Structure 1
Amino acid sequence: MNLLDRIRMELDQFSSAEQAVAQLVLKDPSGFQKMPVTELAKRAGVSSPSVVRFCRSLGYEGLSDFKLKLAASLNAGVPFIHQSVKAGDSGETLIQKVLDNAIHTLRTFRNTAPAKPIDKATQLLAKTIAKKGRLVFYGVGNSGFVALDAEHKFFRMGCTAHAYSDGHLQIMAASMLNKGDCLIIISNSGRSQDLLDATQIARAAGASTIAITASGSPLAQAVQVHIPADHGEYYEQYSPMVSRLLHLCVVDVLATQVALQLGDSVQKNMARLKKNLIDSRYTK
């Protein structure tokens, strides 16, 4: 899913003024990125601050940041059609389809992902770790394995991190959260009732909430920080591929940014961990 597709999906969530700006983007995206804010406001029939608010409502820092991501999205080449594998595909065709789908999804995310929600999520995670709070990762089905990977990445920083993929355990764990803890939900569709219920329980307890999920989904609207993870794969596909890779990459970005922000304390923990692992290897 490119930036224009995301704007179309979220159109109903904008204010009337922001919708006017969105329609201007959709009507002439190339022209939009070339015009100054005063001209954009005039053509949309809104104020200049409304143009900036539209960009920020999508998670971008402002108009300049939005224009950069819009240009990258438009310059990505011919629109990509997600290729589903078929029973009659040869080994060579399967390799090309699977890898092309993954490469396109990651490239699109790189070109269009707003930095603002990732920065906000990083701040919440770093604050939780610094104050000895708990990180709890939720995922259901395929996303449950991504949650386990996130637990593995973050507990190495020396913090308390747990992953849950069972709906009943998620409700129970959410009930045990407190102010200062952080719940991170990973979901392809963002429509799991168990995850939504657990999110509401965690928020009522005062915990911070972050979701890596599809734009426009109920879960995206239920959390404090939403990191859009959009792609061309139907979320009810029997064997999801690109969604898992995209979610893993988002977790990698967050873990790297948090480790850099926390600095020496995390680096010392990871260095000690690495040394102990090396010392435990069988060398004969």
Structure 2
Amino acid sequence: MLDRIKASLPSLAPAEQRVAQLVLSDPRRFAQLPVSELAARAEVSKPTVIRFCRSMGYDGLSDFKLKLVGTVSEGVPFIHRSVDVDDKTGDVLVKVIDNTVAAFLKYRNDASTHAVEKAADALLAAYRKGKRIEFFGVGNSGVVAQDAQHKFFRLGVHTVAHSDGHMQVMSASLLGPGDCVVVISNSGRTRDLMDATDIARKHGATTIVITASGSPLAAAGHIHLAADHPEGYDRYSPMVSRLLHLLIIDVLATTLALRIGGAKLQPLLSEMKNNLRSKRYT
């Protein structure tokens, strides 16, 4: 919830921004104060405080305070950063969605367009030269790698995904100049992925890494697509990280598809769709 407020700051009116800053400065205190004192501290009118709460998607100040208290309370580690033990199903629904939306908004505001363009250029060059584009990930990130392979092969790309460390090392050993490998990792500290990235680089392949800033993997790749979020990489059940990685893959796939051009892709995709009709019930 607090991350979403931070991400929404630039789009708020100046008066609502002051209310938002008041929330962020001391959320526990904000939840305890009456609307008159909140308005006085933010130097706004009482209706502005209510309007801010509704701008954030809540029914009003009472609803906003209720959710705010849940956000700043001690959460359940290894499950979700903002969920509390006594949360009702409706609270869980709101918190999980809010957490994801906040991460997406933060990524939208922080993402490096330059890095995405460099990655898209490398992928397009590999595609045009008929080179390989491979996706590496282990555990939860291995599922994202499989999803990436599924998206890219439909564009006519020679691609494969590996989630096994031995296969990654062997495959990286066969890559060469012009090939691309996209390495996905939440922590950026997985030894198998580091080894495979180093081997791919040594053989001249372009390495694109989707991982946390400041991690060893971030420094090991040619192109770093930062995937920073409030969820710790040591959580037992990663949620936001997986969705953020899938989002970045969608951005790359869409950017590549636009650069390839509809004139080339449209007939391919249309034929694929027609051929799949027999697989579905009418």
Residue-by-residue CA offset, 1:49-98 (whole Å, 9 max, x unaligned):
xxxxxxxxxxxxxxxxxxxxx967997x5559784323332111111111
**C-alpha offsets along residues 231-268 of structure 1, whole Å, 9 cap, x if unaligned?**
00001100000001111010000000000001122333
Pick from 214, 217, 229 the counterpart of residue 216 of structure 1.
Answer: 214
Q: Which residue of 1 aligns with 2:228?
A: 230
Shift of 1:110: 0.9
Distance 2:81 2:177 in 1: 44
Which residue matches 1:174? 172
Q: Output one character per residue of 1:89-108: Cα deviation in whole Å (capped at 9) or x when no partner.
A: 21111111111100100011
Query: What is the identity, as a one-letter code, of the residue corresponding to 1:164?
Result: H
Whichever residue aligns with residue 207 of structure 2, its letter is: T
Secondary structure at 1:179 match in 2: coil
- Which one is further off, 86-95 or 167-176? 86-95
2:113 pairs with one of 96, 112, 115: 115
Q: How far apart, CA to CA, are the structure 2 residues paired with 1:95 and 1:159? A: 38
Separation in structure 2 between the aligned mates of residue 234 and residue 176 of structure 1, nearest angstrom: 34
Change (3 A) 1:272 1:196: same
- Decide whether aligned partners of structure 1 residues 156 and 282 sit closer, same or farther in structure 2, where only a CA change above 3 A counts: same
In 1, Cα distance between the equivalents of 2:94 and 2:103?
14
Output the TM-score relative to the length of structure 1.
Answer: 0.71
Residue 144 of structure 2 corresponds to 146
Is this contact kept in 2: 1:259–1:267, CA < 8 A?
no
Instruction: Provide the residue aligned with 2:270 in structure 1.
Output: 271
Contact 2:180–2:207 under 8 Å retained in 1: yes
Higher Rg: 2
Q: How does 1:3-152 map to 2 (within 5 A)?
A: 77=20, 79=24, 83-152=81-150
Aligned to 1:194, what secondary structure does the other structure show?
helix
1:213 alignment partner AA: T
* Count of matched residue pairs: 218
Any idea what the Cα deviations from partners look like across 1:28-57, whole Å, max 9, x if unmatched?
xxxxxxxxxxxxxxxxxxxxxxxxxxxxxx
The separation in 2 between residues aligned to 1:94 and 1:148, in whole angstroms, is: 29
Do the aligned residues in 2 keep the contact of 1:121 with 1:210 (CA within 8 Å)? Answer: yes
- Distance in 2 (CA, whole Å) between partners of 1:187 and 1:160 is 22
Residues 72 and 118 from structure 1, CA distance in 2 versus in 1: closer, same or farther, beyond 3 angstroms? Answer: farther
Aligned to 2:77: none
Q: Tell me the equivalent position of 1:17.
A: none
Counterpart among 180, 185, 202 of residue 187 in structure 1? 185
Per the alignment, residue 47 of structure 2 pairs with: none
Residue in 1 that maps onto 2:157:
159
Segments of structure 1 that go 5 or more residues without pairing to the other structure are 6-69
User: 1:164: how far off?
Assistant: 0.8
Equivalent-residue separation in structure 2 for 1:107 and 1:163 (angstroms)? 28
Shift of 1:277: 1.4
Q: Secondary structure at the match of 1:183?
A: strand
Letter in structure 1 aligned against 2:267: K
How many angstroms apart in 1 are the aligned matches of 2:95 and 2:81? 6
Instruction: Tell me the C-alpha RMSD between the 2 structures.
Output: 2.6
CA–CA distance in structure 2, aligned partners of residues 219 and 267 of structure 1 = 36
Q: CA deviation at 1:134?
A: 0.8
TM-score normalised by L of structure 2:
0.71
Structure 2: distance between partners of 1:142 and 1:272:
32
CA distance in 1, matches of 2:85, 2:185: 28
Which residue does the alignment assign to 2:66?
A: none
Match of 1:281 in 2: 280
Q: Percent identity?
A: 50
